[in-house]
Structure 1
């Protein structure tokens, strides 16, 4: 009896101990050793045995990872079979987040696989059937839990069934997903999902896309090959094709171990294990308001302050912890369809959102209809019981429906074409609240009022006919002509506003007011003058007045404007809108407060440091690479020069005037341009012949700009003091000393000098002397070699802009430029010395 009492006491104590530790996942970080690296069939583990192993029953060879049953503080307490990174207690895998187990569950390993059963021996979770018997369960040092057979062939791997995390060495194949947990201590599947498609890494909230990896400024696209899988290595996150070729890449600092995790907040984080802790390296989406439920249902997320409020017409109730509801107590948000598929309430009204508000999915979702009017869009939502609101494009005529679930509303810093409406319902009325409530009129009134109206209308028509008969024929003809002109004008306007994707159309009076009657000119070029403007919401814009528009009609202009307006990239100046006033054409762009590279590089202001020059070079190259190979409509810029490279806050760099050559000249073949455009000194040699203009012409222009970035002076520089070697550029600004390339007194052609210094490996003699030695020779060599590769005579010898970016970012080895394809620079430099440029 005494021994039975002791055993009972011991069992009770063991159970109590396990339950206490189960509430704290930190118990698995115990200093107790892990005894097993493999376990074999006929292994059974109950909660008492988990205590015997201090919560963990399996460990990797070096103890980096442990397989354990952990309990999380939920009600009721839930347990999960998990793999944990020991040093940080980070869960990297769980057996099935949607089916937690209880403390009475049992873990079984048999020759048929791994099983978890409840107290009644009912199956909760298991591995699939196998064709050969299981020999062992092992936990690898990579964190991969595997079942192997007698030949040590893998039968099942946890890496092939990810939950919310992937680690180095683990692939996420196309079609597979990561599912965010419902909360920090609730591992059941939440509302966020990350899926790898054959085109992109897609972020979704309740099946609505809110982000893609290609939208990240740090994600570089190498090719358009279909994706096959995603993996991480020591240098970053990679999306690869079938043959292992790199398609997308997020470059990160070197790390020996990192993980990527989709959090319960809907954000994807990449973290490296440095100094016994996780260091966050990447988060996407970076913008807080891009997360669909950042502020709850219909909560308004302020992008500037990352704060939450409610839109006008809505507020938060003390008993509503989810989001915002209508301020009017008689209205409520519809609850969707009833079991019969109909709307639960027949009374529908809409609350209009402010013009500066938008919805997270509008930029990524396909509209349900195009080229429709507002009334049709509204009807589409009203007749759809799953529709909870809609957004309508005033000028583009596109209609987006918000169906099934409502996320947060985003504020916008700029005016948008889309206007939003949120559906509300009221059970107290059976009529659509867009119409007035009916009163019960007497039958006599219902008859007499329409009759009176009919006779009144006849009287008005008779008076009008008598007046027209007395009018002179010439006036009648004039009125008919004017009516016909108005009809034609209206028809033209309808054609314009029905073009899909058209950006905001500004009134001419708006631009006159914003620019103070085009008072402040901030730039000019071959396409027209640029003026600074301030919109009513205090947004500063750049207004370009197009000249030499030619014979293109309004519809053609708007079609090309829609293409330009649809292009969004961190290194391209965004088109905000346009204006048509008679024969005048205006484009409204975002304003770049740093001015042009031309002014910064060649002006008298602060000297650009080398790291700033490199950022400008890489940013410009990325923008061109996007235009050439990544946007939906391939665009050749045709006028790359420092004037068209604009600088902004935080060292941002953006290309302007892209797409304008296509806008001003109609081409039947978008891939081949033959019109002579561009700026002297930057145009490729093929422009001077009958050869077609391709994207390699932009590569040549970029190479010329890159040489100017290195030297800090224009490529054609006037030498005025031959004896001292001091040069002056075309504007009279002091340049640097030169010691090579003996030309006739007059003009020095820097590309020819760069070729000669490259041949002699004397790169530091090419760098801007104002940097005073704050740059290493190999850094200059990289830019000079890339530039010379770009300006080779034969277009086929030049790299693509994607390859240029990879070389500048040290992801591709530097090419060696072909001297025979560059000798034309020397001959051109000799001719230039005898004939100063205009």
Structure 2
């Protein structure tokens, strides 16, 4: 739809009225001289001549920010913020007006709040525009040309410029929605970090093709107009309007909920803000108002966010934080997927379509089967004619009664929970079901006790019978399933055929392949070469800690040998070698989806070591060689928790259990206390290797590209991520997310690195990932 045409006299009158308003406002101004300064607690702002607007410090969170706000009304209303994404300022800063910029002392990490050239004076105008002049009184900088989330009367949003919402009413840093004045003449709203295409738009002025250099103009009477470069074609964005009135203030803002609104405020003592117009009255319209893996439902005109079946809210206090699985489901590297999973339905919902397979199907049950039988399928979108297979996370979900679309979500049967969204109205039946459940559980418990007693009696009878006939239990293989088994050195010599088949070698010892004689089960036997001279009790106490660790992403310790100075460990055998063997061999490199699955599983293993097992274990030597691959290509962490078994002097080497060069966290070299964050750093290096499919240090490349973790941030900062992967096929959106995760992990300052729990949530796409600082910066937080 073209921009609506009005008569030329009206156009000229409108432009003259806009000019008159700006000229009047500029006459009513305050003068600020070079050398002037502000502090948060005293002399905190400079007022406009009427006292309506102020420039200076305002309270934000636990500190202060610098911006423009309405000072002439009781409610503090922020209309512009300088450096809005910087951390809050402390009370001991001073804002100085200099000839080259407004500077903060101490800097608090910012060199300038506002930058310009040759400034000699400044003014806070009654229009709400903060301007800086040179010696000739020419404007060298003005806040009206750098809007954040708000427009004021007389202000213009030029072509290709954007407004970004705030995070919340109390946090004015950049939020998740944007309003763009496009070069094609359309005024459009999108979520942040999306392309300017119709697929992601949720509001449009419908003025495509309306001329060149179309601008959004805010008139004194509360109208928003679109004008092209000839000022002859005008469209009124807002419906209606109010007469221009000196006793009324107007502002247009894209609110934190993603809707842009026009507000008015009466300046009389009892005045308050009133909404004049809004781009939508449906709070579920903005895409992204509910986070990943959740969808928006409109209840009493308010947006309510609900999780996918099998998911729970990541943060109850922040609906945009999305949802994560209530329990971590097993990976799909094994067979019989249809026995482990079921498909849950979400009717009348729409989602972003990021399908990797689009099937022509008209049968919903066939669509469910197709997803269940596909290891990579985590959800499917069905619309009576097609079945679109999806990978998680799902986003931009909302309930829409007018559509017949159904979202089919794959949920592990062991973790399937009732959809709380469907049982709100079933409270009357709960009491009876609870009674039945209690009775059933009681009977089941009683039956279990009887069964256990029977088993114990039977076992004792069998033991007595075995003793009577004096039949030995050969090799005691049955014990390996329930406890660490002690082996003699002679037994391990037989199992390994006198240690003939070497399958690995490290700083702590050599690994040999062996076979349990009775069961023919392959094992890996590690002969430790630098073990401290501990007594049997201390050695076994250490092993008990490791023996109690059971996780699908940890190599399982089966037994040990303590024979004088000889100490050996018996592990489950991993048939596919190490991650290094898979990752760095050109003919074995896994595809992008397999690499993502490997990264997530490794993170789950370290989360268990750090937070979930009885005794916290810091690995200290994370590298691809210490991550082994089983027959299903599932990664398992090896050599965990054995640091105390090694000699103390080995901590001073570069390849010992305390870390391998290229993977060691900086705090090792600074003699700082070592925490689990050291493992997070090493994991970040390994994650870079996984997603880029190359070694962290490769001197066969040009010197500037040889060290991957030093190359990653410059490529990320310049938007040249293609340099990190070459011609490999990757999911561009996921690749950028993974790079951000890795850059947070390899921060020099340990406190800036996320926990492994946060890392796993980011890898799964459950939480948004903030822009990481340079790894050697200590000024940002996560």
Q: Same fold (TM over 0.5)?
A: no
Larger RCO of the pair (alpha carbons < 8 Å, separation 6+): 2
TM-score (structure 2 length as normaliser): 0.41
